[in-house]
Structure 1
């Protein structure tokens, strides 16, 4: 028999278990106890903010508007000026450039996820193909046409230029590790199967001018300041409140209200 959940209260106001169960849909964690903790924490934070709004004479009939009004009044968010943005830009030159592009060809050995025998066979076939290419790299297009399960086999495995988020993450993450003009030494596993990848060429990104990224830097700084200020504000409210039935250490940082 499952244990009855401990009642959660905020300054004497009970957070209904039914509300916590409804909130669970917004916290899809694999561990049920962690999911309930996250859901209950979010509702406690919300109740704290609503109680604080009422204490400031803010109408809480529309809860979202009330919380937004309270935060606007109580949390000071200084705007980053051009000089501050320039400091960030000058300190991180490699961060402000266009992404590298890769001209790529591949040979796909398809295997559905969750079928170990098929995955093992696909990996073995990919390893054999890499060994064949070590012996004769010029055979890549022919082997792609012969062995690949991707429609790109019709063009020798050519995928053209690949940029950020144009392929699955495992494939994209492998590209910088492969020396241009060569085949990767190991098969790359994705949900589609195993890939033999050849990087034909890398096109290096180019630096961006400050004016091109100033707004992006300002938004990043504003988001960072807002996150920090909200976390500190929630921690102050937690410190003043009488909360039972839940442990809130570090809750201000983890609340979805400060994301």
Structure 2
């Protein structure tokens, strides 16, 4: 192992607050990233957005990581962005509205970059999804290369019900995965999509009868990928993403600018408060 790989391995051993990183079998060059806040249904907190790109960068340097599985501890994959974190992200002490909006735009771009780390990784990343995959969870899996789920899994693009525009990649990546019409349906309605419908529209490529079967099959899939010529895999991923990237990059920049102005709206504050208190939010005038 070269010095860079040794340093990466040492950093991984230090651990993470929101993630668990493991190699289940030292003889198999597959590593697992687990979202590790099961008591909060793996809601994405502020530390997550610095830990995920750090974990991906470290695994990208490890020769023993030829494929990566993104999974989650507990019965649910991800319930979206932690609402208390959302409030802290949108808060600003700057009295100048333009400066506050510019500050918020930079924050959004940083969060986008954290999610995009999954597809920037040279190694193939497979998502294994159980239970709820909501809001930010959809952002995460849309940035993975392959998606598998168990038959009780479901997906919700939740942001519109919170009074905001999804800005971490779902609106840019989902149309290339499920088609424009399906993506528009999911984004505007915020409806729940079960595993079978997700498979039919192409959101996931494989559905399994339960978490245990899914975990075993995804491990086998990742192992199969890990045994393929590494440079060919990296090149295939890079070329396919480059062919799609111009639209995604422009879309991410556009929504960051949009939400820089809109995320401080009273409607968002009311919607978040209603979600936390389990109340029905009021409707704004348009």
Same fold by TM-score greater than 0.5: no
Structure 1-normalised TM-score? 0.23
Q: Flag the structure with more relative contact order, 1 or 2, with Cα contacts below 8 A and sequence separation at least 6.
A: 1
Higher-Rg structure is 1
